């Protein structure tokens, strides 16, 4: 029994990284400017309904698992179209990225911008991540 | 019989399948003399991948190839290459562009930054 619980715990903390999309922007270097790197990460929890259904079958009674399956099927009816990663329930989680970049680089002179869309997968849930790295150009001596 | 099984096994093992996830492009410059290119990839076995840090050096590579200049007209390809019945696959990021002199680009950048700052301040005051 202990072994079984350990295996379940191990599975739960075991995560896989999945890369969906990478985009690079223009890169500018100039001797009069210093490049200050910045790194921004926003994430939201995604839910894998298929895995939730499978888990409910394993742990709930026959009636309970059927109800859970019906609920999962009902929810999935509203989640159509192309997606990256698992569905999230806060659709605007990456909306303030531009604002955060502006806060990190008030001069607005941003270069070497790389945006990465990735997923950290755990059983049933996942971290749906948008990561942006870049450099802020600051004039030397200012 | 044995040789045909062997041949099909070898064929399966050596065959690969490429698919593209995304492509992005930045404005292409008129001066296209110096090309720069970087390629970052990672082999993933049976889906066991614990980080995507292999892409982090891409910008640094481009900067090294174009010191005191601007890399523009940057085409970024994000692709998957699957080998042997999807047991092994390669994630590959390829970025290629042109290195141009930085003289005019920084002036443009300053004016772009001014426009972006004004737009953000307007958006903030509307909120």
pLDDT digits (tens, 9 = 90+) for A111-120: 999 999 999 9
Tokens of A20: 């969906």
Dump pLDDT digits (tens) for B98-109: 999 876 555 555
Does residue A3 belong to any structural domain of this protein? no
Mean pLDDT of chain A: 82
Total domains, chain B: 1
Does residue B112 belong to any structural domain of this protein? no
Does residue B107 belong to any structural domain of this protein? no
In the predicted model, is pLDDT for residue B31 greater than 90? no
Name the most confidently modeled range: A70-84, B51-65, B80-94. Answer: B51-65
Does residue A75 belong to any structural domain of this protein? no
Total domains, chain A: 1
Does residue A57 belong to any structural domain of this protein? no
pTM of the model: 0.75
The string of DSSP codes covering A32-71 is TEEEEEEEEEEEEEEE-HHHHHHHHHHHS-HHHHHHHHHH
Task: Assess contact for A43 and A94: CB atoms under 8 A.
Answer: no
Does residue B116 belong to any structural domain of this protein? no
Does residue B126 belong to any structural domain of this protein? no
The string of DSSP codes covering A79-94 is --S--SSS-BS-TTTT
User: How far is residue B29 from each of residues A31, A37, A112, B73, measured CA to CA in Å?
Assistant: 21, 25, 17, 6
Does residue A63 belong to any structural domain of this protein? no
Over range A18-24, report the average pLDDT.
Answer: 91
Task: Assess contact for B95 and B24: CB atoms under 8 A.
Answer: no
What was the pLDDT predicted at B92?
94
Does residue A65 belong to any structural domain of this protein? no
Residue keyed to tokens 């404005």:
B27
Does residue B113 belong to any structural domain of this protein? no
What was the pLDDT predicted at B99?
94
Does residue B2 belong to any structural domain of this protein? no
Percent share of chain A, pLDDT over 70: 89
Write out chain B residues lying below 8 Å of A112, CB-based: 59, 62-63
Q: Is A43 left (phi over 0), alpha (psi -120 to 50) or beta?
A: beta
What was the pLDDT predicted at B35?
95
Task: Assess contact for B92 and B31: CB atoms under 8 A.
Answer: no
Cβ distance B76 to A24 less than 8 Å, yes or no, reads: yes
Closest CA to B76 of B18, B22, B17: B22
Percent share of chain A, pLDDT over 90: 30
The residue range of the domain holding B97 is: 14-101
Nearest to A116 among B52, B71, B102 (CB): B52
The residue range of the domain holding A37 is: 16-47+86-139
Nearest C-alpha in B relative to A15: B50
Cβ distance A27 to B114 less than 8 Å, yes or no, reads: no
Residues 6+ apart with CB under 8 A from A16: A120, A121, B47, B48, B49, B50
Q: Name the residue with higher pLDDT: A4 or A77.
A: A77
Measured in angstroms, the CA of B11 and the nearest CA of chain A are apart by 28
d(CA A87, CA A125): 10
Does residue B66 belong to any structural domain of this protein? yes
């Amino acid at each position: 029994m202990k072994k079984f619980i350990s295996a379940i715990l191990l599975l739960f903390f075991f995560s896989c990284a999945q890369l969906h999309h990478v985009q690079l922007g223009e890169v500018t270097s100039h001797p009069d400017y210093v490049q200050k790197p910045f790194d921004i990460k926003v994430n939201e929890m995604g839910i894998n309904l298929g895995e939730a259904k499978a888990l409910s079958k394993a742990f709930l009674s026959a009636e309970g698992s059927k109800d859970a399956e019906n609920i999962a099927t009902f929810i999935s009816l509203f989640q159509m179209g192309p997606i990256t990663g698992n569905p999230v329930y806060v659709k605007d989680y990456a909306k303030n990225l531009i604002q955060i970049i502006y806060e990190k680089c008030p001069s607005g002179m941003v270069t070497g911008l790389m945006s990465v869309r990735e997923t950290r997968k755990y059983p049933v849930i996942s971290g749906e991540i948008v990561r942006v790295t870049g450099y802020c150009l600051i004039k030397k001596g200012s | 019989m044995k040789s045909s099984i062997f041949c099909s096994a070898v064929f399966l093992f050596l065959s690969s399948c490429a698919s593209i996830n995304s492509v992005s492009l930045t404005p292409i410059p008129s001066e296209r003399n110096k090309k720069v290119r970087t390629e970052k990839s990672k082999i993933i076995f049976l889906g066991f991948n614990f980080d995507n840090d292999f892409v982090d050096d891409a910008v640094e590579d481009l900067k090294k190839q174009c010191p005191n200049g601007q890399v523009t007209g940057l085409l970024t390809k994000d692709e998957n290459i699957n080998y042997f019945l999807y047991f092994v696959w390669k994630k590959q990021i390829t970025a290629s562009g042109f290195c141009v002199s930085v003289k005019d680009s920084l002036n443009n950048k300053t004016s772009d930054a001014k426009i972006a700052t004004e737009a953000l301040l307007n958006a903030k005051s509307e909120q």
